[in-house]
Structure formats: C-alpha cells, structure tokens
Amino acid sequence: MENSKIGFIGGGNMAASLIGGLLDGGAPAENIVVGEPNPDRQQWLEQKFGIAVTDNNADVIAQSDVVIMAVKPQQLKAVVEALAGALQTSKPLLISIAAGVRQTDMQRWAGGDLAIVRVMPNTPALVGAGAAGLYANGFVDDDQKALAQAILQAVGIAVWVTEESELDLVTAISGSGPAYFFFLMELMESAAVKHGMDIDQARLLTLETALGAAKLALLSDEGPAELRRKVTSPGGTTEAALTSMQEGKLPEIIELAICAATERSRELAKELGE
C-alpha cells in the first residue's frame, strides 16, 4: 500500500479519519491527494496532514491508483457522472463509502467496466474503531482487494461479503449499530439519574461499562451468550434485570429493529439509484 497513490473525492470527516489512519500506518503523505471544493476545508486538510489538496477532482483521478468516493450518497450520482470521462481514462480502483448506493448504479453512471469496492463503514472509524463491510465487483483483482482492505483496516476492522445485497444487513448491524448502543447508554443513564444518581457519575459508569463489556467480548473465546450466563447468578440482580427485559420482549424488539433497518437500506438503494 505504501507505493499506491490514494485519492479522495471529498474531504469530510470520514475521509479525514481514513487519511489519519493511513498516515499513522506509514503511508507517505506525498502519496495522498484530496479533491475538496471548500477553501477552509482545503486549508485545514493541508495543515492537519501535510497532503496535497485541490478543487479539481479530475486531477485527483488522473494521479491515483485508487480513488475513494467520500461524498454524501445524495451527491454521488452527480459527482460520478461529472467524472465519468476521467474514470474511464485512468481506470483506478474505485472505493465508495457512500451508504446505500449500489455499485451497479455507479457503474452505469461512470460508463461501466470499472473495478469498484463498495464499503459500508460506521462512525467509530472516526476514532480508529470502525467496523466496515466490503463488497468487490467482478472487475476487482486480488491485489486491489488487498489494497481496499488495508485502507479500511487503517481505521478498524474490515469484513468481505460475497453478495452486494448482504451490505443491507451489514448496514443494519454495524452501519446503524452504533446508534443502538448509544440509545441503550442513553436509557441506562436516564434511569440512573431518575433514581437519584448524579448525571456525571451515571454517564461515566454507563460508558465505561459499555467499553469494558465490548473489550471483554472481543478478547474472549466465548460468545456473548456464554459471557452473559457467567455474570448472571441465579436469583441475583442481573437475572432480575434480564428477566424484566425478556418479559418486555426486548429480543423481539431488537430483531424487528434489524429487519426495519435492513429493509430501509434496500429502499434507499433503489431511491439513490434512480
């Protein structure tokens, strides 16, 4: 990866997190270039990372082995169509981190026959703890897959799916997943405050408990179900809480939420591809 020229179209927060991760991992700053229209953002990126920044997206494509499309999903069609000529001339590996936009639609907008990796990242990538799902179309070779994986692993973990449709479920699990955990933290904090705990104490205890549980699960050879059983003493406080959750149909609620997010991802893909 250290010899690959990496271009970004869009210099927002997700692009910045990837750039930071790449530089921390040893990628040379001179091998990274960003296309960004906002002058203030251009200056920030240059000062923060010491990389080249331009407002000419076609120039970014011309000098890059891999181009990361880091624009909003609603903007992607116009951006790709405007750059179709440059993409067809250079034929870079195209990585899209625009949620919900299918690679088949990007192919159509760009004129076809492009190596495209579609990625569903999530916001913890902003702190180097992301979880991304990746799908490669038939034009992507093994070296390009390895390059795409290395880029995403600069800010977390990356897993491949074999069918593009599987990214809808990835979206529901890890793409939207941080919000589910934030919601649970919010509810735990609120309940603690309601019962008399100081809000700062409630927040710290909640957040550290979430972090500790995630670390324990990641480091353990046992699955979440077994870890839960180990901390649930018969007749104890944990069992009382979990029984209440079961009686409140929390498992069914979570499954319905995942199904709703998956279906909405499918709907958005159709809308964004029009």
Q: Which pLDDT tens digit goes with each residue over 199-240?
A: 999 999 999 999 999 999 999 999 999 999 999 999 999 999
Q: Does residue 88 sit in the same domain as residue 197?
A: no
The total domain count for the chain is 2
Helices (H), the chain: 13-24, 39-49, 57-62, 73-82, 84-90, 103-110, 142-153, 166-170, 177-194, 199-219, 224-230, 237-247, 250-272
Domain that holds residue 218: 177-269
Q: Does residue 160 sit in the same domain as residue 183?
A: no
Q: Does residue 242 sit in the same domain as residue 139?
A: no
Q: Does residue 82 sit in the same domain as residue 125?
A: yes
CA dihedral of residues 186, 189, 195, 201 (deg, nearest 10): -160
Domain assignment of residue 172, yes or no: no
Q: Does residue 261 sit in the same domain as residue 240?
A: yes
Domain boundary among 164, 189, 211: 164
Q: What is the pLDDT, as a whole number, of residue 3? A: 84
Q: What is the pLDDT, as a whole number, of residue 93? A: 98
Q: Does residue 158 sit in the same domain as residue 69?
A: yes
Q: What is the pLDDT, as a whole number, of residue 1? A: 64
Q: Does residue 34 sit in the same domain as residue 156?
A: yes
Token pair, residue 18, equals: 């990837």
Q: What is the pLDDT, as a whole number, of residue 274? A: 75
Q: How far apart are CA 92 and CA 71, in angstroms?
A: 17
Express as a percent the part of the chain with pLDDT over 90.
Answer: 97
Q: What is the pLDDT, as a whole number, of residue 2? A: 67
- Output the domain CATH number for residue 39: 3.40.50.720
Q: Does residue 19 sit in the same domain as residue 127?
A: yes
Domain assignment of residue 54, yes or no: yes
Q: Does residue 138 sit in the same domain as residue 184?
A: no
Q: Does residue 145 sit in the same domain as residue 210?
A: no
Token pair, residue 271, equals: 């809308």
Q: Does residue 118 sit in the same domain as residue 24?
A: yes
- Identify the segments of the chain with pLDDT beneath 50: none
